Amino acid sequence: MTRSAVWHPFTQHALEPPMRRIVETEGAYLIDEDGNRILDAISSWWVITHGHRHPAIVKAIATAAEQYDQLIFAEYTHAPAEELAEALLALAPPGLKHVFYSDSGSTAVEVALKMALGYFANSGSGRNRIAVMEHGYHGDTIGTMSAGERGVFNAAYEPLLFGVDRLAFPEPGREQETLDAFERVCRSGDVAALLLEPLVLGAGGMKLFAPSLLAELQAIAQRHGTLLIADEVMTGWGRTGTVFACEQADVTPDILCTSKGLTGGALPLAATLCSAEIFDAHLSTDRRKTFFHSSSYTANPIACAAAVANLDIWRDEPVLARVGALADMHRERLSRFALDERFRNIRQIGTIAALDLNTETSGYLADAGPRLRAFFRKRGLLIRPLGNVIYLMPPYCVTAPELDRAYEAIDEAASLVGAAA
């Protein structure tokens, strides 16, 4: 096989086998060049919601492509962006009033950080600190790496990163410590915003915390005039059981970031939603208060059309019923491991199921990780453990027999791979 010139993400090419070429996607499956059907048990990095190539989204893309390609969004607007903004605000937690488009989850969070700092700068305040939760992951741009957990992901880039105030993750029984720490940092008067992934920290190990804690963190933020930024890039679009995770805490953040499932996973698009107060702080006859952020592909019309079709699916199809059914299927299948000493910390929220394989080493670089991936790959399953943390996050079209395949493989892997780890 000819060596590819392509450099793949999160891939150590010195250790990984040659990449299989995918020639088609369909429903819950990737189909490779040899005709093998691979169950996409992680929604291709959490983006595919309804299933690959949902007909309504495919049709919307084709229709939009007959009318549009990219056009400058600083000078003009277009119907797909306007329609999408109205539909997003109607679906999001109440009180969010404006939508700023970008093209990935990382940029959605970068936009949020700049909105928060711009809000205080334009209001004459000196607030310039960001508080974050330990183990968080918000992307791979400089700002999002700064706000994320420090470690192997970003050690080489440390000279570029800025400091943030880190709160301990609210481990069960120690939630008050997190709340007290946030109260302390807010008292300094320097904290512009608290940035967090609501209810579940994704790449940090699928770590869960209760909706009540999210509500208490917001209450502290509001007492001190600190903004709350909800990074719903992964948690949005039904993953936690509701359209947005914030709904479960009855929380409307000041800024909400969404991407991944925004287009049903079909095309890259992101949106950062904010309150009227944040928009108004940038509204001025003084051009220096302009929100200075853009990308060349801001609000791509074809991507926006895909997202409009996705929101129509949420409106017209029983998506939340499918989400609930998938959550029930996870719950039933996870119960088989409840007393299984090969695993610990068995957990679930909505359509996300996770469990930690008992191994000598843990964390993203745990030796079990590559072996588990290789094992699942041989079984025709796309499952990418976070080190020793095995998780499933399939599209909502997955069937019970398909999910059974994934759980049977996890059971087998625990004996074959776990014993050697």
Tell me: do 360 and 283 sit in the same domain: no
Q: Is residue 183 domain-resident?
A: yes
Tell me: do 291 and 323 sit in the same domain: no
Tell me: do 215 and 337 sit in the same domain: no
Contacts of 258 (CB under 8 A, 6+ apart): 88, 108, 232, 233, 236, 237, 244, 270, 271, 272, 273
pLDDT digits 0-9 by tens, 382-411: 999 999 999 999 999 999 999 999 999 999
187 backbone dihedrals φ, ψ, rounded to 5°: -65, -20
Please give the helix or strand (H or E) that residue 404 lies within, else none. Answer: helix 400-416
Q: Is residue 7 domain-resident?
A: no
pLDDT digits 0-9 by tens, 203-225: 999 999 999 999 999 999 999 99
Q: CATH number, domain at 205?
A: 3.40.640.10
Q: Check pLDDT > 80 for residue 2.
A: no
Q: CATH number, domain at 345?
A: 3.90.1150.10
Q: Check pLDDT > 70 for residue 418.
A: no
Q: Is residue 26 domain-resident?
A: no
Cα torsion through 366, 370, 372, 373, rounded to 10: 140
Q: Is residue 402 domain-resident?
A: yes
Q: Is residue 130 domain-resident?
A: yes
Instruction: State the pLDDT at residue 419.
Output: 62
Tell me: do 285 and 144 sit in the same domain: yes
Domain final position from 287, 316, 345: 316
pLDDT digits 0-9 by tens, 156-166: 999 999 999 99
Domain final position from 260, 284, 316: 316
Instruction: State the pLDDT at residue 126.
Output: 84
What single letter denotes the amino acid at residue 71? L
On whether the CB atoms of residues 353 and 385 are closer than 8 A, the answer is: no
Domain final position from 272, 300, 316: 316
Instruction: State the pLDDT at residue 30.
Output: 98
Tell me: do 284 and 358 sit in the same domain: no
Q: Is residue 186 domain-resident?
A: yes
Give the total number of structural domains in the chain: 2
Q: Is the pTM of this model over 0.85?
A: yes
Cα torsion through 361, 327, 170, 155, rounded to 10: 50
Q: Check pLDDT > 90 for residue 421.
A: no
pLDDT digits 0-9 by tens, 118-151: 999 999 998 999 999 999 999 999 999 999 999 9
165 backbone dihedrals φ, ψ, rounded to 5°: -95, 115
Average pLDDT of the residues in 180-190: 97
pLDDT digits 0-9 by tens, 238-253: 999 999 999 999 999 9
Range of the domain at 395: 318-420
pLDDT digits 0-9 by tens, 52-65: 999 999 999 999 99
Tell me: do 200 and 342 sit in the same domain: no
Q: Is residue 69 domain-resident?
A: yes
Tell me: do 263 and 374 sit in the same domain: no
Tell me: do 389 and 252 sit in the same domain: no
Among the listed residues 212, 270, 213, the one whose alpha carbon sits nearest the alpha carbon of residue 236: 270
37 backbone dihedrals φ, ψ, rounded to 5°: -100, 115
Average pLDDT of the residues in 360-368: 88
Q: Is residue 332 domain-resident?
A: yes
Average pLDDT of the residues in 6-12: 95
Place 360 in a pLDDT band, splitting at 50, 70 and 90.
confident
Tell me: do 206 and 71 sit in the same domain: yes
Tell me: do 71 and 173 sit in the same domain: yes
Tell me: do 213 and 332 sit in the same domain: no
Q: Check pLDDT > 60 for residue 73.
A: yes
Question: How far is Cα 142 from Cα 129, in angstroms, rounded to an integer?
Answer: 16
Tell me: do 371 and 284 sit in the same domain: no
Average pLDDT of the residues in 275-293: 98
